[in-house]
Amino acid sequence: MTLNFSNPSRSYDETRTCVRFWGYDGALEIPFFLEDGAMQRISPETRQNAAALLTAFDRNRDRILKVAGKVYSRTRSKGTYTLTASDF
């Protein structure tokens, strides 16, 4: 199976200070977290509030999902995946 991102949902997780989104490997739902620091590397002008971070995520969705796929393919056995600035 290959990872896909058929669910366009994403949300800001204030507790973890990250954008949360989901991928799917067959029937398995795979949670991803994009740290604020990663978003700052992708889009340095982004303000540090939930609305701005979600908008920046949407503008950079293709790039983020491509990196998420690479991170997932390196370590498929984890339960969750966190994308950090060093991934970009």
For residue range 21-67, what is the model confidence (pLDDT) as tens digits? 999 998 899 999 999 999 999 999 988 899 999 999 999 999 999 99
Strands 18-25 and 28-35: antiparallel
CATH code (residue 72): 3.30.160.140
Domain count, the chain: 1
Match 């507790």 to its residue by tokens: 15
17 pLDDT exceeds 60?
yes
Model pTM score: 0.90
- Domain containing 39: what range? 3-87
Distance CA 35, CA 22 (A): 14
